[in-house]
Amino acid sequence: MTEATKVTETVETARKEGLEIARKIWLAGVGAYGRVYQEAAGRVEKVTGAANELFDQLVEKGEQVEDLVRASISKNEAAGKVTEYVEKTTAQVKTASETRINDLEERFEAVRKTVLEKVTPFVDKVAPLNIFSLGHQVETLTAKVEALTAEIEALKASKAPKAAKKSETEAA
Q: Using 50, 70 and 90 to split pLDDT, how confident is the model at 152?
A: very high
Question: What confidence score (pLDDT) does residue 25 get?
Answer: 84
Those residues whose C-beta lies under 8 Å from the C-beta of residue 22, and which sit 6 or more positions away, are 134, 137, 138, 141, 142
Question: What confidence score (pLDDT) does residue 148 get?
Answer: 93
The candidate with the shortest Cα–Cα distance to 4, out of 162, 161, 157, is: 157
CB 94 within 8 A of CB 58: no
Residues comprising the chain, all counted: 172
Separation CA 84–CA 90 (nearest Å): 10
CB 119 within 8 A of CB 32: no
Separation CA 158–CA 135 (nearest Å): 35
How would you class 108 by CB atoms within 10 Å of its CB: exposed for 0-12, middle for 13-18, buried for 19 or more?
Answer: middle
Q: Note the pLDDT tens digit of each residue in 10-63.
A: 878 887 888 788 888 878 887 888 888 888 877 777 777 777 787 888 888 888
Q: Note the pLDDT tens digit of each residue in 99-136.
A: 998 888 898 888 888 877 777 666 656 545 566 666 77
Domain boundaries, the chain: 3-163
Separation CA 81–CA 79 (nearest Å): 6
Q: Note the pLDDT tens digit of each residue in 60-82.
A: 888 888 888 777 767 766 667 76
DSSP secondary structure, 10-30, as one string:
HHHHHHHHHHHHHHHHHHHHH
Q: Is the dihedral of CA 90, 96, 99, 105 positive or negative?
A: negative
| pTM beyond 0.85, yes or no | no
Mean pLDDT confidence for 146-155 = 92
